[in-house]
Structure 1
Amino acid sequence: MISKLLYLAQHIWRTLWVRVVLISVFSLLALAIAPLLTPFIPENIRLQLGREAVLPVLTILASGMLAVTTFSLNVMVSAYRAASSMATPRAYRLLLDDTITQSVLATFVGGFVYSLSAVILFHAKVYSEDAAVVVFAFTMVVVTLIVLAILRWIDHLSHLGSMDHTLQIIEKRARESMHARARRPSLGARRMLDDDVVPDTAGSICSRKSGYVRFIDVARLNELAEDTDSQVFVTSVPGEFVLRGSVIGTLSRSDAELRSRAARAFDIGDVRTFEQDPTLGLTILAETGQRALSPGINDPGTAIEVLGRIERLLWEEVPNEPQSETDYTPTFARVSLPVVRARTLLDCAVLPISRDGADNPDVTQRIYELLSRISAHPNSAMAKAAADIRDQLGSR
């Protein structure tokens, strides 16, 4: 269970500019320590490799990397826009988290910053002739990294922005989210049961802003509850849209300061995230299927492929049978949180496609097959939900 601070750090790390800045800083640090390493270079090598040997290479890198970076950015933006128009706009955010693209572009920018800075330092006579040997060695390392990045980029471009690649990324993130939630159905907290009763003296935890609940720091809530000998009941789960001032949880004691501190354990933003929301990936897959069935695209084959991926996720990532309350030991016993119900997963994954594909016999048949097979799921709740939806759609 990660803390809110680590959750925010992970999101920052997935942004493109962070990797670009870090690699650029490392390249500048390499240039800064180059004069300090000069005494360790043998004298015969210093005489053979002077500034005349390294300056032409640095000049080529400085001019070439700027062009390569600009071209790569144009390709990235075009591919992402094409993917979002074919699939769903929500897929664009997933593609922005592509670590391969981020690392390649960061390498190109870092190479440009390194070479341009080195050329400036040489012409400003900051570097001596002896320092040119160290810079030459660093330059060979940079050239090797750039060549490897170009090869990696060429391979990545062969499928970047394609429907297959986009669906693969969506399914991968959905699988990770569902797998994590299957291991911790209530995020490590005590499962909130239907018959749980909140004491009358409970204090409401109110949302600090309007938006989607993206992350709940359950460990922090449990710590606050232990310090004050209270219980926390979370009522708004990740993925739910809340308004500022609305109740997102309750405390077993009324304390204004405690309620304010508990509200800060909820991260609320404009868009949903995958970390604690297993329904988001299924929703994006369903939206992709809906887009394929729109009159402007009319591609039922993609919708059928999406249904196959949804079926695979529901079969493989929903646990066979949830632990009973007697077998389940919560990590954070002072916090109660609802589990994600099987019907919720099916509703967000299957029903949108069934509505838009009602006039297509192939899609309708594929949905019926999906529900029939899932109705034999080892998880009794998932099996019952699938059978109920199948009967519901069949009665239309």
Structure 2
Amino acid sequence: MRSLRLWQVLRLSRRLWVRTSLIAVLGIVAAGAAALLGPVIPQELADRLGKDAVMPVLDVLASSMLAVTTFSLSIMVTTHHQASSQVTPRSHRLLLEDTTTQTVLATFIGAFIFALVSIILFRAGAYTGASAFVLFAFTVLVVVLVVVAILRWIDHLSRLGSMDETIAQAATRARETLAVARAAPSLLATPLPDGAPPPDGAEPVPAPQGGYVQLVDMAALSEQAEKAGAQIWITAVPGCFLVAGRALAHIHPPGALDTARVSAAFEIKPIRSFEQDVRFALIVLSEIASRALSPGLNDPGTAIDVLGRLERLLAECPPPGDEIRYPKLHAPALRDEDLVEDAFAAIARDGAPMREVARRLIHALNTLRQGDDPGLARAAEAMTRRALAHAEAALVIEEDKAALRRLAEI
């Protein structure tokens, strides 16, 4: 499990401005290093390639890269809005973390800043002797990076914001989150039975603000509990929504820990995230299918595609782990019923009037019913009955209803 500090650093690294700033700084460093490395270059090389060889290239980079960056940003914004309106508004969060887009835009801006700083230093007389040769070598490298970035950008633009690419990104994030959640269904704490309350007299830890729990730093909580000889009952796991003042956890014995330090181990934000919240990852995929089934789009093919991806995600996920790394902590375990509910309930409701969607849904649930995981099998059995009830109420032709009943074997 990642610590809260590491998770915040990783989340920061996925921001567009961070990667852009880093490459921009590299451009400034390269432009400044050219002036320092000049004395180590042989004079005969400096005589061949001087200011007249490098200045035209720098002028082209400085004049073109800003326009290319502005144009690329407008494309990115347009595709993000298109994906939000056609796929699901939650897809915008995935596209913002697209590393290819970030690297390409950062390369363009870095090249612009490198060229601009180099021209300024040239005009200021900072490049003397063989410094122009060093700058020429750096400029050639920047040109190569820009060409590679443009080629990657052309290839990426053919998929950016498309339905297939967005669904694939959502499925990939869901698979990663599901693997982590199945390996630690109770966040590596002692699992709590469903509905088990904290012990009598336990001290509640109030939430400092309202919102969704995005991450719980289990290692930090365990360290506090071990030092104080206390135990912590976690009631707000990732994905839980709560208002300020509601209990995040309970401490026993009361007064053994500072509640402010305990609450600091919970990351609470206005929106949900994919890091530890596997239910949210499944809901995003389910939303894509439900939106495709809306009268405005009427695209059952996309819903069928999402059903196939959800089927593979749950059927191929690893068995739940039983490691207890933090015995002083107690947390509710991830329920198989919640996974199946979040993945298929909305599609069962919205796809009930469409025979082809209902059949594909029953097929996916049959796969889980026949799988090796007894928990998922029981949850799929209950969801099959629910899907049949929706279909019975929505379908008109009796033959279609009978075909679904035969397929479900219920």
TM-score band, normalised by shorter chain: over 0.9
Higher alpha-carbon deviation: 239-248 or 197-206: 197-206
CA distance in 1, matches of 2:181, 2:136: 50
Please point out which of 367, 372, 379 is paired with 1:373: 367
CA distance in 2, matches of 1:257, 1:191: 21
Higher alpha-carbon deviation: 14-23 or 249-258: 249-258
Contact 1:292 1:302 in 2 (8 A): yes
**Partner deviation per Cα, 1:295-316 (whole Å, 9 max, x = no partner):** 1111111111111111110101
Which residue in 1 is equivalent to 2:66?
Answer: 66
CA RMSD between the two structures:
1.4
Tell me by how many angstroms 1:288 deviates. 0.4
TM-score (norm 1): 0.96
Contact 1:178 1:317 in 2 (8 A): yes
Contact 2:184 2:323 in 1 (8 A): no
Contact 1:51 1:129 in 2 (8 A): no
TM-score (norm 2): 0.92
Which residue in 2 is equivalent to 1:298?
Answer: 298
Contact 1:286 1:348 in 2 (8 A): yes
Which residue in 2 is equivalent to 1:390?
Answer: 384
Q: Does 1:13 align with 2:17?
A: no
Which residue in 1 is equivalent to 2:394?
Answer: none
Tell me by how many angstroms 1:199 deviates. 2.6
Contact 1:224 1:258 in 2 (8 A): no
The secondary structure found in structure 2 opposite 1:330 is coil
CA distance in 2, matches of 1:47, 1:378: 74
CA distance in 1, matches of 2:389, 2:91: 34
**Partner deviation per Cα, 1:7-35 (whole Å, 9 max, x = no partner):** 00011000000011110011111122222
Tell me by how many angstroms 1:194 deviates. 3.9
Contact 2:45 2:130 in 1 (8 A): no
Which residue in 2 is equivalent to 1:217?
Answer: 217
Tell me by how many angstroms 1:223 deviates. 0.6
CA distance in 2, matches of 1:169, 1:125: 49
Tell me by how many angstroms 1:197 deviates. 5.5
Tell me by how many angstroms 1:126 deviates. 2.1
Higher alpha-carbon deviation: 9-18 or 329-338: 329-338
Which residue in 1 is equivalent to 2:286?
Answer: 286
CA distance in 1, matches of 2:308, 2:97: 24
Identity of aligned residues (%): 44
Which residue in 2 is equivalent to 1:2?
Answer: 2
**Partner deviation per Cα, 1:303-358 (whole Å, 9 max, x = no partner):** 11111111110101152xx45xxxx4411111111111111011111011111112
Q: How many residues align?
A: 390
Aligned partner letter, 2:50 = G
Which residue in 2 is equivalent to 1:317?
Answer: 317
Which residue in 2 is equivalent to 1:340?
Answer: 334
Tell me by how many angstroms 1:3 deviates. 0.7
Structure 1 runs (4+) greater than 3 angstroms displaced:
194-197
CA distance in 2, matches of 1:20, 1:174: 27
Which residue in 2 is equivalent to 1:267?
Answer: 267
Please point out which of 332, 344, 351 is paired with 2:345: 351
The secondary structure found in structure 2 opposite 1:89 is coil
**Partner deviation per Cα, 1:242-299 (whole Å, 9 max, x = no partner):** 1110012111122286211100100000111111111111100110011101111111
Aligned partner letter, 2:106 = A
CA distance in 1, matches of 2:26, 2:386: 60
